[in-house]
């Protein structure tokens, strides 16, 4: 963490900002009495602010409300027990001048902002400002507002233009040269390069092969070498390699490199768990939601079918990173008897109206094998929707041949059955004319395409995801889910705090037309399924840990239907996240309102 960021948040500064709170705690007779006194104070503070304030809602009133709610949640004995850490005990110790070496700047930063927020002293400014219409009415007010909105959009455009995309003329020119170089290096014709089978036969499987296609930084080379040496899955298609830049330091392709080149700490953690990977990395607890091999079921009317356990290219943070052995592993297709048993399971469960065929990447299967699987599903009267989960439009767009698109389109019987594609485009730089053409081949068959975005560190700068949404719609793809990154310890480098995702939704996505922000922000809770993040009533903030990590209690999706245990998960400390942004050249002040998203 950069020293400058840490120095902003010291115990002394926290004491200054939180004098009132510390005094209440100090005056209480016991920790329990302090808990009650502070709880009452927080409620009283909110009551008075709402009763007497002249502060407008747009400025800070909602922050007072949210901080009061969070304080109350943090102060309960239940929170202490669920989180395994007591914030009131920490405040008690601090107010009695007891040494707490465990408390770090991230903790003080959270407490300081919560104390300031409660008192209506939140320091952040609105991310954007628009000229108010003041006292104007009618057409005059509308013109003033329209002018303001033009200015607002101009600033949004300016911010989005920081991120290059694959449809820009410059990018296309650069990539044409990259493609020619890779193609010539592998002795291939243009026609061969555009053939998906040739691509699969030339997947870069180690640092030497990828190094021939693209400039690798020494640390990238080392990490790949270590991963491959430790038999971790690794693979990059020549097509995707052509999207990477010759000059990594230009920073345009960071998100793409992060998709396929594992960070060293990831490799080390994966290798440390070589023998117990199945348990250590099955973050989603798929083993507890798999009634039979190849099937995962978390909801009543949909199940996941995983007939094929490999992909043309390996994503570093793959949810099933313990299952996939190598890119296009020859033995990745499930055995016929296993697949039959899974199909029989679907057949025996007419509640299953929708089947997500994923893997691995089912579109990496040969046409006949894939179509046989789909025909079996389509023959079941209760299967109304077949979804195919695939990243081939991004990693191998030439796989979407007119013939394949046509064959898939035949599974659509409007009113009876739909077939749709769910893909995973992570960054605007991944959207290329090849990808757009592949999507178009599906669309011409009436096949809808949805995108699932993983909100990782490498796509989390201001307006980076907004730009992606703008391009997705333009390319015929509907933004569907935005996933909060998982708490998988080996993928820490990718994690983004929930507060940033909420901030992005409110301050960036909200500025886009409704058709561009159709994505639902979700957290895939282990063993439980999706927690919808937009509404705070689906979670509680239990505690702020000594390092500043927030601990959330995520409610089960079916809490209104049946009794089910919730899930407690630690988030990334906000100060740590802001510090990383600082390190890559972002101004942390541009993200200041993040402290007030809970
Ligand atoms: S495409 Fe999906 S299944 Fe394949 S490696 Fe990436 S995340 Fe995993």
Q: How far is the CA of 583 from the centre of ligand 1 (A)?
A: 29
Regarding the beta carbon of 329 and ligand 1, being less than 6 Å apart is answered no
Report the C-alpha dihedral over residues 211, 217, 218, 224, rounded to 10 degrees. -60
DSSP conformation letters of 73-89: HHTSHHHHHHHT--HHH
pTM for the model stands at: 0.94
Residue 499 in tokens: 């507060």
The more confident residue out of 95 and 281 is 95
Regarding the beta carbon of 315 and ligand 1, being less than 6 Å apart is answered yes
Please state which of the ranges 184-198, 269-283, 342-356 shows the lowest mean pLDDT: 269-283
Q: How far is the CA of 432 from the centre of ligand 1 (A)?
A: 20
Which secondary structure element, helix H or strand E, spans residue 19, and what is its range? helix 19-27
Which pLDDT value is given to residue 269? 87
Residue 355 phi/psi, 5-degree rounding, is -125, 125
Q: 3-state DSSP call for residue 217?
A: coil
Q: How confident is the model at residue 134 (pLDDT cuts 50, 70, 90)?
A: low
Q: How far is the CA of 311 from the centre of ligand 1 (A)?
A: 6
Residue 493 has pLDDT above 80, yes or no: yes
Q: How far is the CA of 361 from the centre of ligand 1 (A)?
A: 7
Mean pLDDT of 409-413: 98
Regarding the beta carbon of 45 and ligand 1, being less than 6 Å apart is answered no
Which pLDDT value is given to residue 276? 65
Which pLDDT value is given to residue 1? 47
User: Interior CA angle at 470 toward 469 and 474, to 5°?
Assistant: 110
Residue 129 has pLDDT above 60, yes or no: no
Residue 280 has pLDDT above 60, yes or no: no
Regarding the beta carbon of 437 and ligand 1, being less than 6 Å apart is answered no
Regarding the beta carbon of 210 and ligand 1, being less than 6 Å apart is answered no
- List beta partners, residue 455: 484
Tally Cβ neighbours within 10 Å of residue 278. Answer: 12
Q: Which of 256, 315, 332, 396 to mutate to test the pocket of ligand 1 (most atoms within 8 A of CB)?
A: 315
Q: Which of 314, 456, 483 to mutate to test the pocket of ligand 1 (most atoms within 8 A of CB)?
A: 314
Regarding the beta carbon of 334 and ligand 1, being less than 6 Å apart is answered no
Quick one: what percent of the chain has pLDDT higher than 90?
82
The more confident residue out of 396 and 320 is 396
Dist CA 529 CA 22 (whole Å): 40
Regarding the beta carbon of 361 and ligand 1, being less than 6 Å apart is answered yes
**Contact between 370 and 362 (Cβ < 8 Å):** yes
Regarding the beta carbon of 314 and ligand 1, being less than 6 Å apart is answered yes
Q: How confident is the model at residue 275 (pLDDT cuts 50, 70, 90)?
A: low
Q: Which of 283, 361, 390 to mutate to test the pocket of ligand 1 (most atoms within 8 A of CB)?
A: 361
What confidence tens digit (pLDDT) does each residue in 143-197 have?
999 999 999 999 999 999 999 999 999 999 999 999 999 999 999 999 999 999 9
Query: Which residue has its alpha carbon closest to ligand 1 atom 8?
Result: 318
Ligand 1 atom at minimum distance from 391 CA: 1
Dist CA 360 CA 331 (whole Å): 12
Query: Which residue has its alpha carbon closest to ligand 1 atom 1?
Result: 391
Regarding the beta carbon of 243 and ligand 1, being less than 6 Å apart is answered no
């Amino acid at each position: 963490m950069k020293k400058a960021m840490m120095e902003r948040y010291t115990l002394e500064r926290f004491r200054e900002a939180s004098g009132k709170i510390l005094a209440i705690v100090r005056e209480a007779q016991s920790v329990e009495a302090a808990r009650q006194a502070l709880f009452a104070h927080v409620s009283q503070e909110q009551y008075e602010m709402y009763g007497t304030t002249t502060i407008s809602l747009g400025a800070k009133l909602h922050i007072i409300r949210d901080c009061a709610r969070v304080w109350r949640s943090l102060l309960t004995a239940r929170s202490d027990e669920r989180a395994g850490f007591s914030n009131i005990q920490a405040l008690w110790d601090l107010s009695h001048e007891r040494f707490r070496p465990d408390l770090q700047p991230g903790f003080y930063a959270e407490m300081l902002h919560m104390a300031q927020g409660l008192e209506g002293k939140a320091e952040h400014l609105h991310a954007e400002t628009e000229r108010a219409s003041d006292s104007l009415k009618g057409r005059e007010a509308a013109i003033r507002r329209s002018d303001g909105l033009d200015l607002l959009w101009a600033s949004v455009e300016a911010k989005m233009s920081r991120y290059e995309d694959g449809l820009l003329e410059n990018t296309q020119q650069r990539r044409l040269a990259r493609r020619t170089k890779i193609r010539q290096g592998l002795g291939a014709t243009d026609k061969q390069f555009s053939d998906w089978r040739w691509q699969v036969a030339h997947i870069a499987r180690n640092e030497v092969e990828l190094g021939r296609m693209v400039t690798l930084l020494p640390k990238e080379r080392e990490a790949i070498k270590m991963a491959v040496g430790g038999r971790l899955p690794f693979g990059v298609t020549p097509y995707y390699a052509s999207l990477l830049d010759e000059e990594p330091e230009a920073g345009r392709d960071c998100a793409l490199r992060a998709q396929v080149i594992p960070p060293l700490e990831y490799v080390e953690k994966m290798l440390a768990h070589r023998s117990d990977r199945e348990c250590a990395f099955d973050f989603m607890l798929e083993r507890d939601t798999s009634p039979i091999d190849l099937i995962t079921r978390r909801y009543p009317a949909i199940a996941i079918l995983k007939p094929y356990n490999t992909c043309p290219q390996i994503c570093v943070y793959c949810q099933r990173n313990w299952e996939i052995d190598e890119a296009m592993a020859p033995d990745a297709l499930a055995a016929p008897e296993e697949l039959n048993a899974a199909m029989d399971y679907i057949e025996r469960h007419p509640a299953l109206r929708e089947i997500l065929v994923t893997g691995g990447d089912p579109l990496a299967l040969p046409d006949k094998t894939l179509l046989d699987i789909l025909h079996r599903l389509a023959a079941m009267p209760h299967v109304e929707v077949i979804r195919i989960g695939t990243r081939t439009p991004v990693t191998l767009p030439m796989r979407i041949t007119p013939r394949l698109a046509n064959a898939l389109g035949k599974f659509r019987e409007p009113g009876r059955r739909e077939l749709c594609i769910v893909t995973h485009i992570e960054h605007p730089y991944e959207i290329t004319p090849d990808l757009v053409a592949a999507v178009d081949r599906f669309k011409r068959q009436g096949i809808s395409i949805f995108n699932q975005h993983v909100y990782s560190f490498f796509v989390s700068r201001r307006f980076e995801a907004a730009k992606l949404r703008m391009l997705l719609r333009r390319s015929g793809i509907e933004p569907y889910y935005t996933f909060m990154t998982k708490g998988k310890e080996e993928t820490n480098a990718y994690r983004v705090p929930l507060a940033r995702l909420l901030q992005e939704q409110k301050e960036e996505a909200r500025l886009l037309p409704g058709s561009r922000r159709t994505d639902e922000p979700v957290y895939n809770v282990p063993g439980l399924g999706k927690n919808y993040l937009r509404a705070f009533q689906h979670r509680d903030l239990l505690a702020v840990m000594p390092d500043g990590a927030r601990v959330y209690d995520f409610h089960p999706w079916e809490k209104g239907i049946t009794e089910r245990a919730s899930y407690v998960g630690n988030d990334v400390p906000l100060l740590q996240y802001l510090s990383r942004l600082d390190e890559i050249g972002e101004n942390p002040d541009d993200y200041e309102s993040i402290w007030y998203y809970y």
